[in-house]
Amino acid sequence: MLPGKLFSTRKVCLPSVSLEGPAPAGDAARVGLRMLLALTLSCLAFAARTIPFLLVLTAIDLALLWWLRGKQLSLRRELKAFAWQTLVILMLYLVRFRDLAGLWGGFKISWQLFLALLPSMVFVRSTSQTRIVQALNRVMPCRMAFVLSTCLKFAPQLLAEVRSIYEGQVLRGARILPRDLVKPWHWFDLLHCVVVPAVVQSMALAGNIALAARARDFGSQPRRSCWPGL
Protein backbone atom coordinates (compact mmCIF):
# COMPACT_ATOMS: atom_id res chain seq x y z
CA MET A 1 0.00 0.00 0.00
CA LEU A 2 1.47 3.32 -0.99
CA PRO A 3 1.38 6.21 1.39
CA GLY A 4 -0.78 9.11 0.28
CA LYS A 5 1.75 11.72 1.33
CA LEU A 6 5.41 10.95 1.34
CA PHE A 7 6.55 13.53 3.83
CA SER A 8 4.34 15.04 6.46
CA THR A 9 3.14 18.60 6.07
CA ARG A 10 3.75 19.28 9.73
CA LYS A 11 3.09 22.65 11.30
CA VAL A 12 6.06 24.86 10.64
CA CYS A 13 7.18 28.31 11.57
CA LEU A 14 7.93 30.65 8.72
CA PRO A 15 11.61 31.49 8.32
CA SER A 16 12.18 34.64 10.30
CA VAL A 17 13.16 36.87 7.41
CA SER A 18 10.86 35.36 4.84
CA LEU A 19 9.15 37.78 2.52
CA GLU A 20 6.84 35.04 1.38
CA GLY A 21 3.31 35.88 0.41
CA PRO A 22 1.54 37.57 -2.41
CA ALA A 23 3.28 40.19 -4.45
CA PRO A 24 2.13 43.74 -3.64
CA ALA A 25 -1.25 44.63 -5.07
CA GLY A 26 -0.95 46.23 -8.49
CA ASP A 27 2.59 44.90 -8.92
CA ALA A 28 1.78 43.02 -12.13
CA ALA A 29 0.33 46.22 -13.61
CA ARG A 30 3.44 48.19 -12.64
CA VAL A 31 5.73 45.54 -14.16
CA GLY A 32 3.55 45.53 -17.27
CA LEU A 33 3.91 49.29 -17.56
CA ARG A 34 7.68 49.06 -17.20
CA MET A 35 7.79 46.37 -19.86
CA LEU A 36 5.71 48.57 -22.14
CA LEU A 37 8.02 51.53 -21.46
CA ALA A 38 11.08 49.39 -22.30
CA LEU A 39 9.50 48.18 -25.53
CA THR A 40 8.46 51.72 -26.51
CA LEU A 41 11.97 53.07 -25.89
CA SER A 42 13.45 50.21 -27.93
CA CYS A 43 11.07 50.89 -30.83
CA LEU A 44 11.80 54.63 -30.69
CA ALA A 45 15.51 53.86 -31.08
CA PHE A 46 14.80 52.33 -34.48
CA ALA A 47 12.71 55.34 -35.46
CA ALA A 48 15.34 57.87 -34.33
CA ARG A 49 17.12 59.31 -37.36
CA THR A 50 18.41 62.64 -36.10
CA ILE A 51 21.13 63.40 -33.60
CA PRO A 52 18.88 65.43 -31.22
CA PHE A 53 16.38 62.54 -31.16
CA LEU A 54 19.17 60.02 -30.39
CA LEU A 55 20.59 62.35 -27.71
CA VAL A 56 17.19 62.66 -26.00
CA LEU A 57 16.72 58.87 -26.03
CA THR A 58 20.23 58.39 -24.67
CA ALA A 59 19.50 60.83 -21.84
CA ILE A 60 16.28 58.98 -20.95
CA ASP A 61 18.02 55.57 -20.99
CA LEU A 62 20.91 56.82 -18.87
CA ALA A 63 18.46 58.39 -16.42
CA LEU A 64 16.72 55.00 -16.17
CA LEU A 65 20.05 53.29 -15.54
CA TRP A 66 20.92 55.81 -12.83
CA TRP A 67 17.48 55.42 -11.22
CA LEU A 68 17.82 51.62 -11.10
CA ARG A 69 21.52 51.58 -10.19
CA GLY A 70 22.59 48.87 -7.78
CA LYS A 71 20.05 46.34 -9.08
CA GLN A 72 22.69 44.28 -10.87
CA LEU A 73 23.04 47.14 -13.33
CA SER A 74 26.34 48.68 -14.26
CA LEU A 75 26.79 51.61 -16.63
CA ARG A 76 30.41 50.55 -17.12
CA ARG A 77 29.40 47.06 -18.30
CA GLU A 78 26.82 48.43 -20.72
CA LEU A 79 29.26 50.98 -22.13
CA LYS A 80 31.85 48.25 -22.57
CA ALA A 81 29.34 46.23 -24.59
CA PHE A 82 28.60 49.37 -26.63
CA ALA A 83 32.30 49.91 -27.32
CA TRP A 84 32.71 46.31 -28.52
CA GLN A 85 29.65 46.43 -30.70
CA THR A 86 30.75 49.75 -32.21
CA LEU A 87 34.21 48.40 -32.94
CA VAL A 88 32.81 45.40 -34.82
CA ILE A 89 30.29 47.49 -36.78
CA LEU A 90 32.89 50.11 -37.73
CA MET A 91 35.21 47.42 -38.99
CA LEU A 92 32.44 45.90 -41.07
CA TYR A 93 31.62 49.35 -42.50
CA LEU A 94 35.26 49.92 -43.30
CA VAL A 95 35.43 46.64 -45.20
CA ARG A 96 32.15 47.32 -46.99
CA PHE A 97 32.76 50.98 -48.04
CA ARG A 98 36.61 51.13 -47.96
CA ASP A 99 36.23 54.77 -46.94
CA LEU A 100 36.49 56.62 -43.63
CA ALA A 101 33.45 58.70 -44.59
CA GLY A 102 31.28 55.63 -44.02
CA LEU A 103 32.33 55.37 -40.38
CA TRP A 104 29.88 58.01 -39.14
CA GLY A 105 27.00 55.98 -40.59
CA GLY A 106 28.35 52.87 -38.85
CA PHE A 107 28.59 54.71 -35.55
CA LYS A 108 25.00 55.91 -35.85
CA ILE A 109 23.77 52.37 -36.52
CA SER A 110 25.70 51.10 -33.50
CA TRP A 111 24.24 53.91 -31.37
CA GLN A 112 20.71 53.03 -32.50
CA LEU A 113 21.25 49.32 -31.83
CA PHE A 114 22.56 50.07 -28.37
CA LEU A 115 19.56 52.25 -27.58
CA ALA A 116 17.27 49.50 -28.88
CA LEU A 117 18.83 46.82 -26.65
CA LEU A 118 19.55 48.85 -23.51
CA PRO A 119 15.95 49.33 -22.24
CA SER A 120 15.24 45.59 -22.52
CA MET A 121 18.50 44.71 -20.76
CA VAL A 122 17.69 47.21 -17.99
CA PHE A 123 14.18 45.78 -17.65
CA VAL A 124 15.33 42.13 -17.53
CA ARG A 125 18.13 42.82 -15.07
CA SER A 126 15.97 44.90 -12.73
CA THR A 127 12.83 42.74 -12.67
CA SER A 128 12.54 39.23 -11.23
CA GLN A 129 11.45 36.52 -13.61
CA THR A 130 8.43 35.71 -11.44
CA ARG A 131 7.15 39.28 -11.73
CA ILE A 132 7.60 39.21 -15.49
CA VAL A 133 5.61 35.94 -15.67
CA GLN A 134 2.89 37.43 -13.46
CA ALA A 135 2.62 40.46 -15.73
CA LEU A 136 2.64 38.41 -18.94
CA ASN A 137 0.00 36.04 -17.51
CA ARG A 138 -2.50 38.88 -17.85
CA VAL A 139 -2.12 39.08 -21.59
CA MET A 140 -1.19 35.55 -22.68
CA PRO A 141 -1.55 31.90 -21.59
CA CYS A 142 0.55 30.95 -18.55
CA ARG A 143 2.67 28.42 -20.41
CA MET A 144 3.57 30.92 -23.10
CA ALA A 145 4.36 33.52 -20.43
CA PHE A 146 6.87 31.15 -18.83
CA VAL A 147 8.50 30.32 -22.15
CA LEU A 148 8.81 34.02 -23.02
CA SER A 149 10.27 34.96 -19.64
CA THR A 150 12.73 32.05 -19.88
CA CYS A 151 13.87 33.33 -23.27
CA LEU A 152 14.64 36.69 -21.65
CA LYS A 153 16.67 34.93 -18.94
CA PHE A 154 18.44 32.77 -21.53
CA ALA A 155 20.35 35.73 -23.00
CA PRO A 156 22.51 36.49 -19.92
CA GLN A 157 23.19 32.76 -19.43
CA LEU A 158 24.33 32.45 -23.01
CA LEU A 159 26.55 35.53 -22.66
CA ALA A 160 28.25 33.90 -19.67
CA GLU A 161 28.87 30.78 -21.77
CA VAL A 162 30.32 32.86 -24.62
CA ARG A 163 32.58 34.69 -22.17
CA SER A 164 33.86 31.40 -20.79
CA ILE A 165 34.56 30.01 -24.28
CA TYR A 166 36.23 33.27 -25.32
CA GLU A 167 38.63 33.28 -22.36
CA GLY A 168 39.60 29.65 -22.92
CA GLN A 169 40.32 30.24 -26.61
CA VAL A 170 42.37 33.42 -26.04
CA LEU A 171 44.95 31.47 -24.06
CA ARG A 172 44.89 28.67 -26.66
CA GLY A 173 46.24 31.22 -29.09
CA ALA A 174 43.10 32.34 -30.91
CA ARG A 175 43.60 35.85 -32.32
CA ILE A 176 40.43 37.30 -30.85
CA LEU A 177 41.56 39.96 -28.40
CA PRO A 178 40.42 43.48 -29.38
CA ARG A 179 43.90 44.39 -30.60
CA ASP A 180 43.98 41.20 -32.73
CA LEU A 181 40.67 42.01 -34.35
CA VAL A 182 42.02 45.24 -35.78
CA LYS A 183 43.37 42.92 -38.50
CA PRO A 184 40.41 41.58 -40.52
CA TRP A 185 42.18 38.28 -41.31
CA HIS A 186 41.91 37.44 -37.60
CA TRP A 187 38.11 37.66 -37.68
CA PHE A 188 37.95 34.10 -38.92
CA ASP A 189 39.24 32.94 -35.52
CA LEU A 190 36.34 34.71 -33.83
CA LEU A 191 33.89 32.84 -36.02
CA HIS A 192 35.68 29.53 -35.85
CA CYS A 193 36.74 29.39 -32.20
CA VAL A 194 33.99 31.33 -30.44
CA VAL A 195 30.86 31.56 -32.58
CA VAL A 196 30.79 27.87 -33.60
CA PRO A 197 31.24 26.48 -30.06
CA ALA A 198 28.85 29.15 -28.75
CA VAL A 199 26.14 28.03 -31.17
CA VAL A 200 26.70 24.39 -30.15
CA GLN A 201 26.63 25.42 -26.50
CA SER A 202 23.47 27.52 -26.91
CA MET A 203 21.65 24.56 -28.43
CA ALA A 204 22.83 22.34 -25.58
CA LEU A 205 21.78 24.97 -23.05
CA ALA A 206 18.32 25.34 -24.59
CA GLY A 207 17.93 21.54 -24.63
CA ASN A 208 18.98 21.29 -20.98
CA ILE A 209 16.55 24.02 -19.91
CA ALA A 210 13.71 22.28 -21.75
CA LEU A 211 14.65 18.94 -20.18
CA ALA A 212 14.80 20.49 -16.71
CA ALA A 213 11.33 22.00 -17.19
CA ARG A 214 9.89 18.69 -18.40
CA ALA A 215 11.54 16.90 -15.45
CA ARG A 216 9.25 19.01 -13.27
CA ASP A 217 6.17 18.20 -15.31
CA PHE A 218 6.05 21.40 -17.35
CA GLY A 219 3.44 20.81 -20.03
CA SER A 220 1.77 17.90 -18.21
CA GLN A 221 -1.40 19.93 -17.61
CA PRO A 222 -3.25 22.14 -20.07
CA ARG A 223 -3.07 25.07 -17.64
CA ARG A 224 -0.59 26.43 -15.10
CA SER A 225 -1.16 28.38 -11.92
CA CYS A 226 1.19 31.11 -10.75
CA TRP A 227 3.39 31.48 -7.66
CA PRO A 228 1.98 34.39 -5.67
CA GLY A 229 5.27 35.56 -4.16
CA LEU A 230 8.19 37.46 -5.65
Partner 1 sequence: MGVILRLKKFSFTYPEVETPVLQDLDLEVEAGRCYCLTGPTGSGKTTLALALKGLLSAGRYEGEIDMPSVDGSPAMAVGMVLQDPEVQLLTSTVGAEVAFGLENLCVEPAEMPQRVITALQAVGLEKPLDYPVDKLSMGQKYRLLIAALLVMEPRLLILDEPGAQLDPEGLDLLRKCLRRLKQSGVAIILCEHRPESLLSEIDTFWQLDGSGKFADGRYRGEEHAPLEPPPPSTTAEAEPVLQVQDLSFVGVGEQPVWSQVSFAVDKGRRYAVTGLNGTGKTTLLRCLAGFLSPQQGAVQILGGAPDAYRLRGRLGCLFQNPQKQIFENTVGEEVAFPLKRFGLLSGTVEERTAEALAACGISHLVDQSPHKLSYGQKHLVALASVLAPRPELLLLDDPLAGLDDGHSRAVMELLVHYNLQHGMTMLWTFHDPEAWPGWADQVLHLEGGRLVAR
User: Any contact of residue 4 with partner 1 (CB under 8 A)?
Assistant: yes
DSSP letters, 117-186, are HHHHHHHHHHS-HHHHHHHHTTTS-HHHHHHHHHHHHHHHHHHHHHHHHHHHHHHTT-S-STTTTTSGGG
> How far apart are alpha carbons 122 and 115 in whole angstroms?
11
99 binds partner 1 (CB under 8 A): no
Contacting residue, 69, 80, 96, 214, with partner 1 by CB under 8 A: 214
List the one residue from 43, 138, 183, 208 that touches partner 1 (CB under 8 A). 208
Cβ contacts of 89-93, under 8 Å, gap ≥ 24: 89/113, 91/181, 91/182, 91/184, 91/187
Q: Note whether 167 binds partner 1 by CB under 8 A.
A: yes
Amino acid identity for residue 73 in this structure: L
- Site size toward partner 1, by CB under 8 A: 72
CB nearer to partner 1: pick between 81 and 113: 81
Q: Interface with partner 1 includes 202 (CB under 8 A)? A: no
In sequence order, which residues have a C-beta less than 8 Å from that of residue 190 and are 6 or more positions away? 174, 176, 181
Q: How far is Cα 16 from Cα 104, in angstroms, rounded to an integer?
A: 57
Terminal C-alpha separation, the chain: 39
Task: Indicate the residue among 71 and 96 with the shorter CB distance to partner 1.
Answer: 71
Taking CB under 8 A as the criterion, the residue among 32, 91, 130, 181 binding partner 1 is 130
Site string for partner 1, 44-83 (x = CB under 8 A): ----------------------------x-----------
Q: Which stretch binds partner 1 (CB under 8 A): 49-57, 102-110, 112-120, 220-228?
A: 220-228
Q: What does DSSP assign to residue 222?
A: S
Q: Which is nearer to partner 1, 40 or 74 (CB)?
A: 74
Taking the least distance from each CB to partner 1, the nearer of 22 and 105 is 22
| Contact flag: residue 25 with partner 1 (CB under 8 A) | no
> Does 21 engage in binding with partner 1 (CB under 8 A)?
yes
